[in-house]
Amino acid sequence: MMIQSVLELQLDGLVGPTHHFGGLSFGNRASMTHAGWHSRPRQAARQGLAKMRQVCALGMPQAVLPPLPRPNVGFLRQVGFHGSDTEVLAQAASSSPYLLRLAMSSAFMWAANAATVIPSSDSTDSRCHVVVANLAATAHRALEGAARAAMLRALFRDADLVVVHDPLPHNPVLSDEGAANHCRLAAHQASGGQHLFVYGRARDTLKQDLPRTFPARQSDEASRAVARLGCLQPDRALFVRQHPRAIDAGAFHNDVVMVGDGTRLLLHENCLVEQETVLSALRHSLPTLRVHQVPQRDLSLRQAVKSYLFNSQLLRTPQGYVLLAPLQSSSGAAAKVIRRLLDDGFMDQVIFQDLDQSMAGGGGPACLRLRLPLTPSELATLAPGVRLDEAKLQQLEAWVDQHYRDELTPEDLADPMLLRETQEALDALTQLLDLGAIYPFQCTPSPYGRDFNGG
């Protein structure tokens, strides 16, 4: 049988108009530190688009994942607020500003948490599987799953080729954070890959082996369920535990201390429990794998979390391996590590990207995108309007400039005009991307049901 060529699509989440610093993510040091700060939605969206432009310039297929509808009025109605949409928002702002912050969250922009992808080359049924994450560990992100599944089904239009699965049941035992705790390594995109599923806790993990300061979000039971749903060939999965020391340092997802793609794996020496055993198994399965472990003495866990070096976007491009790194890693200890990686030929190029609005919420370059290894026929099922080129990027930048506020304060979340502005923005976006009516406010009833609005 002839093996089809495979391209790795980068699907980036688009920052929403209600981007704010709500301090909603316990264990995420950046989110906690910047709680209550004034955000800059226009700048945040522009920075995300600039990163997408850079990926396009490297010759990689790039697409955009539209924002989820915010404010999430359906959620607020579910918890007892009533009346018109503006009345619902006013009641929430007056009596429960925390719930309003949840309903306004733009954390969906970090698409690495949206799902876990099992490509057709690795599945038992030769279909690409996209298993949407339930994000049950945090209150604001737990609102995303059903709506994201509906949107991905609207974008990938042939379920015979690309299957989008609903999130796992919303149960603490099955807490799934998506691709931020998953890594696929392969000699070639079209060849079978090795999948590394990293969890923080399992049902039988002893209390003394759990992190002491921050919670372990990903469960072993969830990782194994995702592999089953994705029809992953059993011999291509490794299930390993994240080091509790890394979680307590602020690595709330494993992609804060590890990044890998193709035949490259970069990780901190305190990334995994029984790390040498795991790496030995990976090298046995993938002899061409190059591993670089960064010692604690060269880059402490604290420095790793602050610089987000490991949350860089590693790309296997026609020009070689390219690291899209956050600007925060361009100096100090992180910069010395990068220089060593370049000198050793571990990668061929580094590009520093200014993403300070995303970084202030705890998301670097890798957080903003979901990797999808797709055959040409699978890629063809993607709604053509979300594929990016220079013309589409310029249109999106103009759209952002027209519809996004320059600044958003915590008090602005109660502004009744914000609801109208966001709906006008998303309505214009669906026209720009030729997606039709995908948001509930655009049609009655919604073609994707109430769940598309998280309610």
* Closest-CA residue to 253 (of 175, 337, 357, 150): 175
pLDDT of residue 190: 66
Quick: pLDDT tens for 292-325: 999 999 999 999 999 999 999 999 999 999 999 9
pLDDT of res. 453: 46
Write out pLDDT tens, residues 409-421. 999 999 999 999 9
pTM: 0.94
Give dist(CA 217, CA 254) in Å, integer: 10
Question: Does 56 participate in catalysis according to the annotation?
Answer: no
Distances (CA, A) of 264 to 119, 184, 290: 19, 10, 5
Tell me which DSSP letter residue 28 carries: -
34 a catalytic residue: no
Among the four given CATH numbers 3.75.10.20, 2.60.40.10, 3.40.50.300, 3.40.50.2000, the one describing domain 7-70+105-453: 3.75.10.20
Helix (H, G, I), strand (E, B) or coil at 438: coil
The pair of structure tokens assigned to 272 is 């995994």
Q: Two tokens at 143?
A: 């609102």
Asked if residues 341 and 266 have their Cβ atoms less than 8 Å apart, the reply is yes
Report the DSSP beta bridge partners of residue 239.
Answer: 197
The pair of three-digit structure tokens given for residue 233, joined into one six-digit string: 């060939």
> Which secondary-structure segment (H or E) carries 63?
strand 62-65
Three-state DSSP state, 435: coil
What residues contact residue 239 under an 8 Å CB cut-off, 6+ apart? 197, 199, 220, 223, 224, 227
pLDDT score for 32: 86
- Which positions ≥6 away from 169 have C-beta within 8 Å? 134
Q: Which residues of the chain have pLDDT under 70?
A: 1-4, 190, 444-455
Q: What is the pLDDT of residue 118?
A: 98
Phi, psi of 271 (to 5 degrees): -80, -50
Q: How far apart are CA 19 and CA 42, in angstroms?
A: 9
Task: List, in sequence order, every residue forming a beta bridge with 369; answer none if it has no partner.
Answer: 12
Angstrom CA distances, 175 to 37, 95, 140, 172, 225, stand at 29, 30, 14, 5, 10
Candidate list 8, 144, 177, 221, residue with the active-site label = 177
User: Which one is catalytic: 56, 128, 183, 367?
Assistant: 367
- Positive or negative, the CA dihedral 322, 325, 327, 331 is negative
- Alpha-carbon distances, residue 261 vs 320, 325, 409 (angstroms): 12, 14, 38
Q: Which amino acid is at 190?
A: A
What are the phi and psi torsion angles at 215 (to 5°)?
-75, 150
CA distance 364 to 356: 9
Order of strands across the sheet that contains 264-268: 258-261, 264-268, 290-294
CA distance 212 to 40: 34
Q: Which of 20, 140, 253, 403 is catalytic?
A: 253
Task: Provide Rg for the chain, Cα atoms.
Answer: 21
Residue-level pLDDT at 3: 54
Does the active-site annotation cover 253? yes
